[in-house]
Structures are given as C-alpha cells and as structure tokens.
C-alpha cells in the first residue's frame, strides 16, 4: 500500500512514514495482524495516546507498519524483518503474531494490545510478573465465551442448534471453542464446528452448515477480522444470526457482539510502550486486563433476519445500531 493511501485510511493520524534506517528517533515495528481497514480505529486510538504522551510520529518517534492479513506465516516473516531492522519495540495484535515475534527475538521488547490467553499460550510467566521480553493486555477471551452464548440465547430464546466458526490454527480460538461447547451443553444446545484455517475455507463451511443450525458464534481472530464482511455476508445469505467478539464485526452486518472495548485496549498499550521507551523492562510491567466491555446489537441485521430482539436485552446494550 502506498504511503498516501495509508495516511488517508488512518484519517490523518499517521503524519509520516519514516524509515528505520537512518532515523535518529526510536522506531516501533507495528505488525497489523489482519488488515489495515479492519484495525484502523484501534491503530488511531494507539497513535492518539502516543501523541498525548509526547511521542509524535515523524518527530520524536518513527513507526514501521506491516500487515499480516490473518496469516501466521506472514506475521513470522514480518517479525524477523523487524529484528533485522533493530526496532526499539515490536507491537502486534494477536496471539499467533506475538508468538511469532517472541520466537524471532528474546531481546527486543514486544507489546500486545490484545491477547486471548497470554499465560496458557506461554507468552508470559504470569500476569503480575510477565518475565522475558513480552507484556501487554490480556483479552480474557476464554472467560467470555459462555457469557456471549448466554446473550445469544437471550436474543434467540428458541435457539437449539448452534455453529461455532473458529480459526483452529489459533490456539486461543481452539480453547474458546471448548469453552463455548461446555456452555452449550449446559444450555441444552447442539453444536456444530465450522473450522477454518484460511480464507478459502469460509465458503465451504457455510455450504456445509445449510439447514443444520439456527445461529452462528464467530470466534474472534485475525483471520476472521480480515474476512469479517465476507463472513457476515454469508451468514445473512444463510439466514443465520451471529454473535461476535468485537463491535467492528457488528458494524459490517453482524447481529451482536460482546467483548472488551478494543480502542481502549490499544490506548492502554500505548502507555505500556511509553514506559518501555522511557527505560522500563517488559518483564517488570504487569499484563493488564480489560476494564470496558461493550454489548452491541445491530437492529438492522436483526430486522433483515425477521427477528425481534427482546426489549430487556436492548436496554442493557451499550450501543444499538439502527
């Protein structure tokens, strides 16, 4: 992507695209795990907070942007590139990409604005004392699967058959599927797995779901974020209400989402980067957890599916898209 196009997509947030080579200011290597359009709002929040902390892109700091488009292999290549460039900090936005960065370097600090299970995936020793060169913010993703399913069931009281779409190459998604299955058993729901590993798997999985389920739980991942419009288009065509993990997926046609406020997490990640650039060690910076959670309902999608969302649920929603 050309520099001018990148700046336009960020709404002017990126004032410059300085190269690491020859730059006097410290350089952040930013691996965007899905696509730029999918994470634009989050990156803008990160940059705004950096500016508030005195780090102005092109003046006091340089930022090298790369995007992996949902590919773990691509994320590994980008991490290796940033190690060669000797950036001051690597920032990346999903568990597989953080794992790739950690495998690429044990020296350069790595900050993750979002990670589903940093302890279970071995990224940190503990939330209070991460150890090593990695720290950031945990999504508590596995803890939320049951809550999302309860909300979906509240929206669809007659729900009996559910599909779970997840990138099974993502270790956090695999764990989340297990949690959602357990919650489904408690609620008396039948579950069908729709396992994906790449974009080409999405259409065949929807074909396989025809006539078998009544709703779709979509586990968040870079692959899903990169294909969020495609997934919601297929879901609408199949007349399947969807539950997602982030607001961005509901903005483009998903029916519901419940999860952490991602722009807030990215702002807080900028605080972590600030500490590191001022001399703190990642090993000594505790992994933080979300403090803001949003329930978002898209009434346009619900109406297109012929559904009436209960008034009590709408009253609790943080945002209703009409």
Which pLDDT does position 16 carry in this prediction?
A: 36
pTM of the model: 0.80
Burial (CB count <10 Å: 0-12, 13-18, 19+), residue 302 = buried
Which pLDDT does position 173 carry in this prediction?
A: 87
Are 3-138+261-291 and 141-260+294-321 in the same CATH fold? yes
Write down the CATH number for the domain with range 141-260+294-321.
3.40.50.2300
Q: pLDDT tens digits for the chain (322 residues)?
A: 443 444 444 544 433 333 434 446 999 999 988 877 778 899 999 999 999 999 999 899 999 999 888 788 899 999 999 999 999 999 998 888 899 999 999 999 999 998 878 888 899 999 999 999 999 999 865 568 899 999 999 999 999 999 999 999 888 888 889 899 999 999 999 999 999 999 999 999 999 999 999 999 999 888 998 899 999 999 999 999 999 999 989 999 999 999 999 999 999 999 999 999 999 999 999 999 998 899 999 999 999 999 999 999 999 999 999 9
Distance CA 84, CA 62 (A): 16
Please report which helix (H) or strand (E) contains residue 113, including its range. strand 110-115
Decide if 100 contacts 250 (C-beta within 8 A): no
Which pLDDT does position 142 carry in this prediction?
A: 59
Burial (CB count <10 Å: 0-12, 13-18, 19+), residue 316 = exposed
Handedness of CA 171, 176, 177, 182 (dihedral sign): positive
Burial (CB count <10 Å: 0-12, 13-18, 19+), residue 238 = middle
Which pLDDT does position 93 carry in this prediction?
A: 83
Characterize the bridge pairing of strands 319-321 and 293-298: parallel
Distance CA 322, CA 305 (A): 14
Give the largest Cα separation in the chain, rounded: 62
Which pLDDT does position 140 carry in this prediction?
A: 65
What ranges do the domains of the chain cover?
A: 3-138+261-291, 141-260+294-321
Which pLDDT does position 18 carry in this prediction?
A: 38
Identify the three-state secondary structure at position 291.
coil
Which pLDDT does position 169 carry in this prediction?
A: 87
In degrees and rounded to multiples of 5, residue 285 shows phi and psi of -100, 110
Architecture of domain 3-138+261-291: 3-Layer(aba) Sandwich (3.40)
Burial (CB count <10 Å: 0-12, 13-18, 19+), residue 8 = exposed
Adjacency order of strands within the sheet including 256-260: 190-196, 161-167, 215-218, 242-244, 256-260, 293-298, 319-321
Identify the three-state secondary structure at position 293.
strand
Decide if 127 contacts 119 (C-beta within 8 A): yes
Dihedral (Cα; 127, 128, 132, 138), 10-degree rounding: 30
Which pLDDT does position 11 carry in this prediction?
A: 44
Decide if 92 contacts 112 (C-beta within 8 A): yes
Considering only CA atoms, which of 33, 38, 11 is closest in space to residue 232?
A: 38
Angle at 113 between CA 79 and CA 10, to 5 degrees: 85
Where do we find the tokens 């945002």?
A: 319
């Amino acid at each position: 992507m050309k520099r001018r196009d990148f700046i336009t997509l960020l709404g002017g947030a990126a004032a410059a695209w300085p190269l690491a080579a020859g730059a006097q200011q410290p350089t952040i290597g930013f691996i965007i795990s899905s696509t730029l359009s999918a994470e634009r709002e989050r990156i803008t929040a990160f940059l705004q907070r950096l500016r508030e902390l005195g780090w102005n892109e092109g003046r006091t700091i340089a930022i090298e942007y790369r995007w992996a488009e949902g590919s773990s292999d691509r994320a590994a290549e980008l991490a290796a590139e940033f190690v060669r460039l000797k950036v001051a900090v690597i920032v990346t936005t999903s568990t597989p990409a953080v794992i790739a960065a950690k495998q690429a370097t044990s020296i350069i600090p790595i900050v993750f604005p979002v990670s589903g299970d940093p302890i279970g995936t071995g990224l940190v020793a503990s939330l209070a004392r991460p150890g090593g060169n990695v720290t950031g913010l945990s999504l508590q993703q596995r803890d939320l699967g049951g809550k999302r399913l309860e909300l979906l069931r509240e929206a669809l009281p007659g729900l009996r058959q559910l599909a779970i779409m997840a990138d099974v190459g993502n270790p956090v998604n695999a764990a989340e599927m297990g949690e959602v299955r357990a919650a489904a058993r408690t609620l008396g729901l039948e579950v069908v797995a729709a396992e994906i590993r790449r974009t080409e798997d999405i259409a065949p999985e929807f074909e396989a779901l025809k006539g078998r389920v009544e709703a779709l739980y979509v586990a968040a991942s870079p692959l899903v974020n990169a294909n969020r419009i495609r997934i919601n288009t297929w879901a609408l065509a199949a007349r399947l209400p969807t539950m997602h993990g982030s607001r961005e997926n509901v903005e483009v046609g998903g029916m519901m989402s419940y999860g952490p406020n991602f722009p807030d997490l990215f702002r807080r990640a900028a605080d972590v980067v600030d500490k590191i650039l001022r001399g703190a060690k990642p090993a000594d910076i505790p992994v933080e957890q979300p403090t803001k959670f949003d329930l978002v309902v898209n009434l346009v999608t619900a109406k297109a599916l012929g559904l009436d969302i209960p008034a009590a649920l709408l009253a609790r929603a943080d945002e209703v898209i009409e």
